[in-house]
Amino acid sequence: MKERYYLVREDILPEAVVKTMQVKKLLASGDVRTVHEAVEQVGLSRSAFYKYKDGIHPINQLERDEIVTISIDMEHRSGMLSEVLGLVAGEGGNVLTIHQSIPLQGIANVVISVEVSRLNEELDDLLDGLRRITGVRRVQMIGQG
């Protein structure tokens, strides 16, 4: 059976479903250590929590994978690609593909596909960070999907 999802305003949800989300938030934040502590704190039975816990998520966790393709012209020198990939990973991006051309006149073009749904900052911040790397000559987003 195919799962179906709905966007529902909190005030029309049953109390047990709302309290299940409160329990999940308490557990995720570390404010409580056990399910028992959390359900006691919000006034929910353990059975109700276990019934609903896998069916309710904050909307920001339902993001789909977003993939961007970035073209980068960089100086041909040792460690440049590593520095670019390190910055992408450090910002929460996941590099899916890499294509690097043979350097011409000391400049290589690298095209990377990056899954960006879990970036720490905005995509523009990632692109600006890439532009600030010494030796990077040009950064351009060439695709998104």
Whole-number Å distance between alpha carbons of 81 and 100: 9
Q: Does domain 67-144 have CATH number 1.10.150.80?
A: no
pLDDT in tens, 57-100: 776 554 445 889 999 999 999 999 999 999 999 999 999 999 99
- The owner of tokens 């920001």 is 60
Edge to edge, what strands does the sheet with 94-100 contain?
94-100, 107-115, 67-75, 136-144
* Encoded tokens for 117: 């749904």
Q: What is the pLDDT of residue 82?
A: 96
How much is the pTM?
Answer: 0.56
pLDDT band at 16 (very low <50, low <70, confident <90, very high): very high
Q: What is the pLDDT of residue 62?
A: 46
**Domain residues of the chain, as ranges?**
10-61, 67-144
